[in-house]
């Protein structure tokens, strides 16, 4: 097994093989109805009580990959500016996994990818600190009306990155949350405002974005998938998750003119060159995705399995309009066949 190095950050367009962090895979289950407050999300942690029998829930709760995840992003294809952040708490591993990724014109991607973040005690907010001298703070309004994010360097940090970073952003929902039918996952389209500071240069933010909140067992190393979220013009928002053709499953929503509905038909091409443009078919509506900035996240499981998240800041076009968002491919390393495994004597 390749040893896993934790608590390292890197700054480049090419990920370091030394940096690894597990992630978030959608666990397919039967459709359920959750007893959940869609505004405050107070009951999300306990909503799994409605799934399966007690034995099934007990097995899931003991899994090393059981986690609670909060994800936020924004994208502005016209300027080439985009951010995505993930807080992943894994109590059975005793770890907190934090991603902070920024793409900005004139800079290489800024990528923080660690598994050893420390969660500081705070009554009304999440504050995580990393060994790399970076802190991330998430403030969630009790009524779900806003989600504030601050990221920066600690003043006493001795690990000053090449491009000092500061994020001060607010996600404001533009519609109710969408609750996945087959997993305990919430998705929500937002508008995002604030600023990004890179190496002393300030970028004002007024963009479309996405957030999600989920709990469950997440095995990123099992199956490949495509995930996408964003806006097309001012009237269309969407989010979609589509497993590989072999598995066929997909789920998500599209909102047009403020009316949101779950997707019934999802088609996405499987490409070997993931930097090429592609077209998603969402209930018969074509959304063209044109990557304009690229990041890679290598992720290693506790057992040493590997996958890479290919994520693209995209310009989306369709229905006579254009917009922005993020497109993601999860690409697990092929499993070795028994004949490929060499036994040393």
DSSP annotation string for 264-330: S-EE----SSTTS-EEEEETTEEEEEEEEEEEEEEEE-TTS-EEEEEEEEEEEEETTEEEEEEEEEE
Determine which of 108-117, 177-186, 268-277 has the lowest per-residue pLDDT on average. 268-277
- The pairing of strands 118-120 and 259-262 is unpaired
pLDDT at 163: 58
> Is the per-residue pLDDT at 25 higher than 60?
no
Query: In this structure, what DSSP letter does residue 344 have?
Result: P
pLDDT at 5: 26
pLDDT band at residue 39 under the 50/70/90 scheme: very low
Q: In whole angstroms, how far apart are CA 137 and each of 8, 9, 125, 307, 328?
A: 19, 18, 7, 28, 24
* Residue 300: burial class (beta carbons within 10 Å; 0-12, 13-18, 19+): buried
> Is the per-residue pLDDT at 252 higher than 70?
yes
* Pair of tokens at residue 57: 């829930």
Determine contact, residues 22/115, Cβ cutoff 8 Å: yes
> Is the per-residue pLDDT at 249 higher than 70?
yes
pLDDT (tens digit per residue) in 173-198? 999 999 998 888 899 999 999 999 99
Q: What is the pTM of this model?
A: 0.81
User: How far is residue 111's CA from residue 103's CA, in Å, rounded to a whole number?
Assistant: 9
Question: Which residues pair with residue 238 across a beta bridge?
Answer: 230, 254
Give the alpha-carbon dihedral of 93, 88, 177, 216, to 10 degrees.
Answer: -20
Q: Which helix (H) or strand (E) holds 254?
A: strand 250-256
No. of helices (H) and no. of strands (E), the chain: 1, 22
User: How far is residue 248's CA from residue 228's CA, in Å, rounded to a whole number?
Assistant: 16
Within 10 Å of residue 305's Cβ, how many Cβ atoms?
18
């Amino acid at each position: 097994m390749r040893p896993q190095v934790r608590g390292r950050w890197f700054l480049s367009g090419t990920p370091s093989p030394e940096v690894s962090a597990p992630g978030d895979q959608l666990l397919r289950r039967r459709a359920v109805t959750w007893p959940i407050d869609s505004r405050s999300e107070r009951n999300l942690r306990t909503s799994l009580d409605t799934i399966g029998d007690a034995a099934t829930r007990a097995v899931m709760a003991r899994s090393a990959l059981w986690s609670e995840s909060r994800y936020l992003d924004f994208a502005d294809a016209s300027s080439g500016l985009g951010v995505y952040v993930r807080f992943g708490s894994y109590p059975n591993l005793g770890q907190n996994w934090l991603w902070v990724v920024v793409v900005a014109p004139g800079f290489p991607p800024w990528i923080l990818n660690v598994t050893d973040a420390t969660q500081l005690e705070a009554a009304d907010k999440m504050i995580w600190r990393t060994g790399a001298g970076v802190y991330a703070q998430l403030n969630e309004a009790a009524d779900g009306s806003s989600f504030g994010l601050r990221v920066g360097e600690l003043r006493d940090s001795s690990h000053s990155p090449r491009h000092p970073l500061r994020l001060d952003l607010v996600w404001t929902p533009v519609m109710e949350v969408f609750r996945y039918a087959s997993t305990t996952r919430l998705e929500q389209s937002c508008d995002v405002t604030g600023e990004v500071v890179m190496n002393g240069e300030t970028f004002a933010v007024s963009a479309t974005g996405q957030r999600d909140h989920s709990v469950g067992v997440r095995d990123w190393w099992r199956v490949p998938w495509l995930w996408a979220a964003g806006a097309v013009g001012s009237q269309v928002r969407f989010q979609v998750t589509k497993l590989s053709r072999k598995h066929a499953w997909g789920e998500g929503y599209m909102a047009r003119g403020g009316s949101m509905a779950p997707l019934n038909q999802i088609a996405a091409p499987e490409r070997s060159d993931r930097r090429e443009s592609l077209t998603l078919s969402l209930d018969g509506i074509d959304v063209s995705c044109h990557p304009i900035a690229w990041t890679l996240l290598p992720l290693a499981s506790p057992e040493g399995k590997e996958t890479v998240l290919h994520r693209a800041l995209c310009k989306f076009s369709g229905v006579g309009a254009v917009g922005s968002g993020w497109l993601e491919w999860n690409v697990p390393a092929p499993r070795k066949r028994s004949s490929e495994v060499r036994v040393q004597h």
